[in-house]
Structure 1
Amino acid sequence: MSNSLIDTAPDFSQPIAVLKHCHDRIRQQLATLRKLLAHLPQHGADQQARQAAQAVLKYFSNAAHLHHEDEERNLLPMLDATARGDDAAVLRDMMPRLLAQHQQMDGDWLIIKAQLDKIATGTDTALSAPAVEKFVADYTAHMEQEEQHIAPMAKRIFSPVQMQQLGDAMQARRGIAPAAAPAPATAAGVDIADLRLDYGRASLDEADTLDHPVDQFAKWFDEAMTAEVFEANAMSVATVGADGKPSSRVVLIKQYDARGFTWYTNYESQKGQQLAQNPHAALLFFWRELERQVRIEGRVEKTSAEDSDTYFYSRPVKSQLAAVASHQSERIASRAEMEANFAAVEAASGGQPQRPPHWGGYRLVPERVEFWQGRRSRFHDRIVFTLQADGSWKKERLQP
């Protein structure tokens, strides 16, 4: 029998064939994704579903990004430098669209990935059919464009030396046949190098961001909610008192708008005391699933009594009672004493507590907002908005 039964991949002496082989593997994973969509309603996150989710996650979180880098960093730039005449015209038309499609598909993948993470661990069965169908359709159309125009052009105009250069770059990107490296340092039996997570789900360009940082925050926050990021509303609040010593803690944002970012707390707590001494703070949102963080710095003011009342009385009664019963940040002898205080407040209020004057809202009025998108090799994207004297916002890129 002359034909092998094993589907072997071409080697890197045939880089265009390797890229086509990657497309074939992408199509296999897209087919698995569609099968999973049909499987879940009938069988839930059973073993087959978990294995399928893990396979798709593994491919699109690793190999697919290497494939995109092959095209973005090597194939397309080499074509751009080589193409002439009609080829150059075709490339000028196609390159911006292909690169924009990469970015769009990376963003769409984040939504699907967040759902697959939960299916892979058996903690949820939700998988958005519209998101999957759009992802499959967009990827399929994208690959067809490359196979009909880009690959044939490369085969036709690249010299043998260029083909070798392309193959060498692709091989090096995958760490194939690396030079000998010293043994890695370890701590508690764990390779310290393995503790460094390499990012690469998406990118962030100045043109991708909206003109006002609160609008951009709203866009990212909505995407975090859609992706079901765990406690997307959790943020770190860092304050500094008169002694110059910083302190931080995690709270939940309750409102954001053009005026700023609002949370509620005890004004007599540690953060309340520090804000009374120094009314400036820094907020930090970290959305691991999307490999994003937002840093917000500015001055802090108290919300109106009316706003504090509105939120206080919207809370569950037991949360209202806890706010009255707790002298936040002060020492107490035991849990039993805390619970006794709670019971006393509950009895005295008749189950209808009033908002105490020492409890209410803070609003951070932003002066600097930075949007951070994780990228490979620690070469992250950072876009910062800085408030100007005339009330406008200046937008700039920062080095990682």
Structure 2
Amino acid sequence: MTASLIDTAPGFDEPLAVLKHCHDRIRKQMQTLERLLAHLPAHGADADAQKAAQAVLNYFDKGAPLHHEDEEQNLIPMLLATANGEDAETLARLVPALIEDHSTMFAIWQDLHEQLKAIAEGSATFLNPADVRRFAETYARHMEVEETQVTPMARRLFSPAQLKALGEAMQQRRGIGAPASGQALADLRRDYGQASLSESDVLADPIAQFAKWFDEAIKAEVNEPNAMGLSTVDEDGRPHSRIVLIKQFDARGFTWYTNYASDKGRQLRAHPHAALLFFWSELERQVRIEGDVELTAAEESDKYFHSRPLKSRLAALASHQSDPIDSREALERAYAAVEAQYGEAPPRPAHWGGYRLKPRRIEFWQGRRSRFHDRIVYLLQPDGSWQRERLQP
């Protein structure tokens, strides 16, 4: 019941033909969806239905996003830079609707994806005919505009050099060929699409919203969800960044512990302001936090220091963080000396303790398709309340 996806494809030396070939594959997948709709009521999620659902998932999870990027990041920008006169006017009329179509199709696909995933797993048989119809109609209208107006314009306007550049960009996006290292880095990108973030999704209190996302990062088994970038500036206003671990957050702010005599300690003494950054790539999320920094109370630093593993406490005494040292062996000797002196009861050194960033700006970022990300920012107001607004990506 499924149509084969294996057919003769044009090479990337014919990039416009490749784009048309992608359209043909989309049409085949739409035919598969229609056949699946008819198949499910009589046969359920049998082996044929599972195979068909997986074929559609494979294409629209992988192939279709690449095709949309080809258009948004290469074909359309190249056309906009080349067209003049009536061509430019035509593009000004068509391009916003084409980009909007991509967003619409992605939104419909999110619903279809979940339905098809359950069918592919054999755990459900529901496929919404309205979703399939809207998906197919939107794609059909979109592809007709491209094939009757956009592609003919590109074929007429693009020089051989432009066509070559377009084909190479499409090829590199798919990891084909061996581009120069600089170009490979420039084209290294990942399209996001797991979730969205709207004003109605977030909580009124940004600390509560952070707690919600942090809990979700832990449940998703994000690699070191408590790791955060800490950025400070030195006496000359030059920025410095490093990764530290958050140890506490609450209504008072975000707390970490370190050596007060380290580079970051000296920088915070000179300029007690900092920025924090959490990036949870598995969830396609980041949180940016900016504010003023203060020392935690000695009692808090004592409590946390004595909760640390013994070797970590000894290391805090042995290391003059950020200062030069001759060798690893010298560092090991310093540790051994501290261990011999204090045994299993090292005291918290006066130069070691906590910092707390009191936030005045917190931004929540959710990755979306085609770099059209969601950004919701909270700004602290003079009365202590938080103003919330959306930022453009």
- Equivalent residues in 2 for 1:156-305, closer than 5 Å: 164-168=140-144, 180-182=163-165, 183-184=168-169, 186-188=179-181, 191-305=184-298
- Equivalent residues in 2 for 1:240-389, closer than 5 Å: 240-389=233-382
Residue-by-residue CA offset, 1:187-229 (whole Å, 9 max, x unaligned) = 2386345412222222211111111111111111111111111
Shift of the 262–103 alpha-carbon distance from structure 1 to 2, 3 Å rule, reads farther
Q: How many angstroms does 1:350 deviate by?
A: 2.0
Q: Secondary structure at the match of 2:210?
A: helix
Q: How many angstroms does 1:241 deviate by?
A: 2.5
Match of 2:32 among 2, 21, 24: 21
Asked if 1 retains the 8 angstrom alpha-carbon contact of 2:2 and 2:32, the reply is: no
Q: Secondary structure at the match of 1:300?
A: strand
For 1:256, give the aligned amino acid: F
Asked if 1 retains the 8 angstrom alpha-carbon contact of 2:109 and 2:135, the reply is: no
Asked if 2 retains the 8 angstrom alpha-carbon contact of 1:12 and 1:171, the reply is: no
Q: Secondary structure at the match of 1:309?
A: helix
Q: Give the Cα–Cα distance (whole angstroms) in 2 for the partners of residues 7 and 61 of structure 1.
A: 15
Asked if 2 retains the 8 angstrom alpha-carbon contact of 1:19 and 1:67, the reply is: no
Q: Give the Cα–Cα distance (whole angstroms) in 2 for the partners of residues 349 and 30 of structure 1.
A: 69
TM-score by length of 2: 0.67
Q: Give the Cα–Cα distance (whole angstroms) in 1 for the partners of residues 61 and 374 of structure 2.
A: 18
For 1:217, give the aligned amino acid: F
Shift of the 270–382 alpha-carbon distance from structure 1 to 2, 3 Å rule, reads same
Partner of residue 62, structure 2: 62
Shift of the 153–236 alpha-carbon distance from structure 1 to 2, 3 Å rule, reads closer
Partner of residue 114, structure 1: none
Q: How many angstroms does 1:74 deviate by?
A: 4.2
Asked if 2 retains the 8 angstrom alpha-carbon contact of 1:12 and 1:168, the reply is: no
Shift of the 139–222 alpha-carbon distance from structure 1 to 2, 3 Å rule, reads farther
Partner of residue 89, structure 1: none
Q: Give the Cα–Cα distance (whole angstroms) in 2 for the partners of residues 292 and 29 of structure 1.
A: 37
Partner of residue 118, structure 1: none
Asked if 2 retains the 8 angstrom alpha-carbon contact of 1:239 and 1:280, the reply is: yes
Shift of the 22–368 alpha-carbon distance from structure 1 to 2, 3 Å rule, reads farther
Asked if 1 retains the 8 angstrom alpha-carbon contact of 2:289 and 2:362, the reply is: yes
Residue-by-residue CA offset, 1:46-93 (whole Å, 9 max, x unaligned) = xxxxxx9xx9996674358689999x9549979xxxxxxxxxxxxxxx
Q: Give the Cα–Cα distance (whole angstroms) in 1 for the partners of residues 353 and 339 of structure 2.
A: 20
Shift of the 397–390 alpha-carbon distance from structure 1 to 2, 3 Å rule, reads same
Q: Give the Cα–Cα distance (whole angstroms) in 2 for the partners of residues 255 and 134 of structure 1.
A: 43
Shift of the 203–66 alpha-carbon distance from structure 1 to 2, 3 Å rule, reads farther
Asked if 1 retains the 8 angstrom alpha-carbon contact of 2:365 and 2:374, the reply is: yes
Shift of the 354–203 alpha-carbon distance from structure 1 to 2, 3 Å rule, reads same
Q: How many angstroms does 1:302 deviate by?
A: 1.0
For 1:359, give the aligned amino acid: W
Q: Give the Cα–Cα distance (whole angstroms) in 2 for the partners of residues 30 and 332 of structure 1.
A: 66
Shift of the 202–254 alpha-carbon distance from structure 1 to 2, 3 Å rule, reads same
TM-score by length of 1: 0.66
The percentage of counterpart residues that share the same residue type is 51
Asked if 2 retains the 8 angstrom alpha-carbon contact of 1:105 and 1:139, the reply is: no
Q: Which runs of 5+ in 1 are unaligned?
A: 33-51, 79-97, 110-131
Q: Give the Cα–Cα distance (whole angstroms) in 2 for the partners of residues 232 and 318 of structure 1.
A: 23
Q: Secondary structure at the match of 2:200?
A: helix
Shift of the 316–181 alpha-carbon distance from structure 1 to 2, 3 Å rule, reads same
